Structure 1
Amino acid sequence: MSTISRDQAALTPDRLADELRAEILDGRLPPGARLGEMALAARFAVSRGPIRTALLKLCDAGIVTIVPNSGARVRIITREDARALYQMRAALETEAAMLAASRADAGTAARFRALLDQHGADIAAHPDGAYLQTSADRDFHVVIAQMAGNPLILRGLSHELYPQLSLLRMGHRKVTGRGLQALHEHDRIAAAIADGDAEVAGLLMRRHIRNSWNALAAQLPAPEDAAD
């Protein structure tokens, strides 16, 4: 059943997309799950038009695939797709970190400290050192994108890249020991940004994303043999 409490008539395509996005990104609709228009229309008590529009929005966000004459399904992200996402992430977030450093002010350090102290408490609650896969980790990067002051970078990360990364990570929730290391990397990035050192902030961010990719890639299926 839908988790939205509302008048059915108020279910716009945007709200339908938000509902389905939440179910996809928290695993209730796993990769490969079929998203039939008729079934969804019956479930939400709406016509197929708003459902179709919502699915197109999710397709644009990269978390749903729509195949003509086959319908919509939750996207399955391949290893090649994942590598491309991380390459794009490195480019955008490195630039965001450098721009954020160039715009740092007296309150920047305190803002990061409050966020990272919360992350530290969250990690301490998990003895296995699970990597931060909740919104808290993403918040650190969103804060940097916001600080960068570039709306195109912020939109590219928040509305397009991060939902796809969240879907990718659904099946790879834990990278043992990565939590503490990621927090240490976040600390160093935050310090460089607060110090206004754009060059170091960009370097540390690129290194952080490379480390994140290496940890995740170790869990992904190995590339198929070229001879196959």
Structure 2
Amino acid sequence: MDDTRGTVPDRILTELREDILSGLLEPGARLGEIALAERFDVSRGPVRAALNLLSESGIVTIVPNSGARVRVMRREDARALYEVRAALEGEAAMLAAAKAGPDTARQFSQLLDQHAGEVAAHPDGAYLQAPGDRDFHMVTAQMAANPIILRYLTRELYPQLSLLRVKHRNVTGRGTAALREHERIAAAISDGDPEVAGLLMRRHVQNSWTALEAQLSEAEEATE
């Protein structure tokens, strides 16, 4: 049987992706084909296929004659990601506002009420959200109803940003500030005000980057 086809590479990709984005496999960790083939009890073909797909999504780095490793996100990489994030999510917020309906405010209210309880439990911590329909940015992107923006965010941008989330856990007080920013963005979208919604979203992403940049700089200096 040819195990390079069908669901075998998908299964390997899914498990490795979860290990990487959860932090079980840390940035810089080596992803040896032989070891992974033994772990999943397959040949090296489907392992290589899965690693190539993870490389395309930006969370694995493959170096010729060296092999694959979990991507190490440097400050320059992170800055570029946040610049793209500000543009895409700003546009998503504008589209969501233009398409806001009678249930928009209620949907945001329920979501942010949950987040407020979680932030209140750890007021000095970060604003770490569950994925999918409990993530404010994902909900906003879905409301925008633009499949191209949603695809870029979910398949490329968000997986790469997940590599940086461990840094957010060290940004004291950012959770409370981010929640307030989300509330203002949600209000602008619910009011059907694209210009304000886009402006607030871009400002929110910039604030997030400002809070993170110093931490990334310190981490790089510590390893040099």
How many residues matched? 216
1:141 aligns with 2:137: yes
Aligned counterparts of 1:77 and 1:91: Cα–Cα separation in 2: 20
Aligned counterparts of 1:218 and 1:121: Cα–Cα separation in 2: 28
Is 1:119–1:136's contact at 8 Å kept on the other side of the alignment?
Answer: no
112, 115, 118: which one pairs with 1:116?
112
Q: Measure how far apart 1:171 and its partner are.
A: 4.1
Task: State the partner residue of 1:207.
Answer: 203
Is 2:123–2:173's contact at 8 Å kept on the other side of the alignment?
Answer: no
Higher helix share: 2
* Structure 2, unaligned runs of 5 or more: none
122, 131, 134: which one pairs with 2:126?
131
Task: State the partner residue of 2:75.
Answer: 79
TM-score (norm 1): 0.90
1:103 aligns with 2:99: yes
Task: State the partner residue of 1:25.
Answer: 21
Q: Secondary structure at the match of 2:163?
A: helix
- Which structure 2 residues correspond to residues 63-74 of structure 1 after superposition, within 5 A? 63-74=59-70
Q: Measure how far apart 1:82 and its partner are.
A: 0.4
Is 1:26–1:170's contact at 8 Å kept on the other side of the alignment?
Answer: no
Is 1:25–1:170's contact at 8 Å kept on the other side of the alignment?
Answer: no
Task: State the partner residue of 1:189.
Answer: 185
* Structure 1, unaligned runs of 5 or more: 1-8
Aligned counterparts of 1:19 and 1:11: Cα–Cα separation in 2: 12
44, 54, 72: which one pairs with 1:58?
54
Aligned counterparts of 1:175 and 1:43: Cα–Cα separation in 2: 36
Percent identity, please: 66
166, 170, 176: which one pairs with 1:174?
170
Is 2:97–2:188's contact at 8 Å kept on the other side of the alignment?
Answer: yes
Task: Give the residue type in structure 1 aligned to 2:190.
Answer: A
Task: Give the residue type in structure 1 aligned to 2:112.
Answer: L
Task: Give the residue type in structure 1 aligned to 2:164.
Answer: L
1:44 aligns with 2:40: yes
Aligned counterparts of 1:21 and 1:224: Cα–Cα separation in 2: 24
Aligned counterparts of 2:220 and 2:208: Cα–Cα separation in 1: 22
TM-score (norm 2): 0.91
CA RMSD of aligned residues (A): 2.0
Deviates more, 1:171-180 or 1:63-72: 171-180
Q: For the structure 1 residues 171 and 40, does the alpha-carbon distance in structure 2 shift closer, same or farther, using more than 3 Å as the test?
A: farther
Aligned counterparts of 2:130 and 2:209: Cα–Cα separation in 1: 18
